[in-house]
Amino acid sequence: MIPTGERLRANVWGRYYVTDQCDGCGICALCAPLNFDRGWDGTYYAVAQQPRDEREREAVRAAVAACPLHCIKYDPDLD
């Protein structure tokens, strides 16, 4: 499948999400283990839980900054 930059359906609904460009490197889960989880087939990660407090928001922001493919996105319209 060719990546299109679309939101993965595996993400929980909310302002942060991972796109289909994810290659499953796992850097996001290292930065924010409470918020990211490996997909069912192991080839991608998705947002498993939106950040609940400032500590988790900081961890997710670190994951966004560390993602080598820039596939973790933020939708400000959902604030």
Phi, psi of 67 (to 5 degrees): -60, 120
Distance between CA atoms of 64 and 41, rounded to whole angstroms? 22
* Model pLDDT for residues 12-63, shown as the tens digit of each residue: 999 999 999 999 999 999 999 999 999 999 999 999 999 999 999 999 999 9
Listed in order, strand segments (DSSP E) in 11-78 are: 16-18, 36-38, 45-47, 72-74
Strand partners, 72: 18
Q: Does position 11 have pLDDT exceeding 80, yes or no? A: yes
Torsion angle of C-alpha atoms 76, 54, 20, 69, degrees rounded to 10: 100
Judge: domain 16-78, CATH 3.30.70.20: yes
pTM (2 decimals)?
0.92
Give the H/E segment covering residue 31. Answer: helix 27-31
